[in-house]
A and B are shown apart, each in its own frame.
Chain A
Amino acid sequence: EADIYQTPRYLVIGTGKKITLECSQTMGHDKMYWYQQDPGMELHLIHYSYGVNSTEKGDLSSESTVSRIRTEHFPLTLESARPSHTSQYLCASSEVGDSPLHFGNGTRLTVT
C-alpha cells in the first residue's frame, strides 16, 4: 500500500499551460526525488531534495522546477508545457543513507 501519493494520475493539457504535479508522503522521509520515465528507457533523475528548503537538479536537464517547503510535500511545476514534456513523472522518497526508494504511482502527462 502506497504511502506516497501523486496527483493527478493522468493529465492532458495544451501547449503553453502552467501545471503543477503534486507529490506527498506520510513517512517523514527527508529525501525526495522526481524521476522522468519514457517507454523502454531508464529512469532519469530530474530533481531531488535532502530536506526542507533544499532542492537540487538531477542528471537530466529539465525545464521544470520544484519546491520543498514542508517535509511531506514536493511539488513539480512546469511554467509553460510543451509536447516534449510528454512523459511519465515518478515521485519517490527514502530515509537517510542508502535506503531503498518508495515510489508513487506516477503522473502520466500528455501535452498536445
Chain B
Amino acid sequence: LAKTTQPISMDSYEGQEVNITCSHNNIATNDYITWYQQFPSQGPRFIIQGYKTKVTNEVASLFIPADRKSSTLSLPRVSLSDTAVYYCLVGDREAGKSTFGDGTTLTVKP
C-alpha cells in the first residue's frame, strides 16, 4: 500500500497558480494517482486522476514524472473559494486498499 507525503499547509493569493506536490515513493505499477478536495463541513470531492505524464480538466492539471514517485496538482489562478484541504491518494484500484493522509490545507488570501 503506497504511502503518500504532502505538505501540511500552503498559503497563496488570489489569481496565483498553486502547485501542491505529493510524494509516493513506493507506488505500484498499476496504481493510479487521485486528488480530492474537501471544504469545511463537506465530504471530499473528486478533482482529478492520472496514471502518467499530464492530465488536465476544467478545474486542475496533474503532472506526473516518468518515475511516478511524485505528482503535482496545479490549480490555475486560485480564488478565495479554493481554500480547502487537498488529499492525494495512491493505490485506489482495490476497494479499501487506499488511505487518505492528512492532506494539504490551502489558504487563499485576498
| A-B complex is real | no
